Amino acid sequence: MLYEMSHRVLLVEDDEGIAVPLVRTLGREGYTVEHLDHGVPAVDRVGVGDIDLLILDLGLPDIDGLEVCRRVRAGGSDCGILILTARGGELDRVVGLDVGADDYMAKPFGLAELLARTRALLRRRPAAPSGDEAGPEAEPGLRIDVQSRRVWSRGREVPLTSKEFDVLALLCEERGTVVTRERLMDEVWDTNWYGSTKTLDVTVGRLRQKLEEAGSPGAVVTVRGVGFRLEDDPVDA
């Protein structure tokens, strides 16, 4: 698949906790992302005519997301519309699609699933020609450069803290096998470390989230009571 750099996505979401990571993730995928937290300005923005995909929360502070959807379609826009909602009922789904939405996702959802739906909706739409075939899709894999202590996922750098990098590097060295919690604590943290091993869990949690947000093919798997394992086939630089 081509890296459709020129697709423009408008996210309408009033919950910052959802909007911030979404904007970041969509941006990393190469989309041009705009974010609004009210419905009325979103209708106006779509009216300009250059939005390819509208990702729309239903519960907004001014007008309901379904009303946004209705107005956008009434205004003649044929942009893709993906509805995000905490209302998981079948009724909402039917109503949402009835007012002109193309797809629907119930919260909470995974970023990977959101990106898959986004790609599917944009695939049907002609991207303005960018001629760029060297996007992240063209360079799959997790790449770790131990010397420079840098990590790339699908061609994009993943910013890691020093400890996150150390954990990942050790897991990568032992990829496919379990690295015990004790060994991680010994090698990544000082042997004189007497703190709680919760630090390890927090670090692994953040590392896992960063890799997931970067669409990394390498996943950190928890082996309960034992340790952690890196799955898939990361490639050493």
Residues lying near Ca ion in the complex (CB under 5 A): 14, 57, 59
Q: Which residue is nearest to Ca ion (CB)?
A: 59
Residue closer to Ca ion by CB (options 59, 140) is 59
Q: How far is the CB of 19 from Ca ion (least distance, A)?
A: 9
Kindly give, in sequence order, each residue whose CB lies less than 8 Å from that of residue 90, ignoring residues fewer than 6 positions away: none
CA 28 to CA 156: how far, in whole Å? 8
Residue closer to Ca ion by CB (options 59, 217) is 59
Residue closer to Ca ion by CB (options 93, 156) is 93
Residue closer to Ca ion by CB (options 70, 119) is 70
Q: How far is the CB of 59 from Ca ion (least distance, A)?
A: 4
Q: How far is the CB of 9 from Ca ion (least distance, A)?
A: 18
Q: How far is the CB of 60 from Ca ion (least distance, A)?
A: 6
Q: How far is the CB of 173 from Ca ion (least distance, A)?
A: 43
Residue closer to Ca ion by CB (options 109, 193) is 109
Contact 67, 173 (CB under 8 A): no
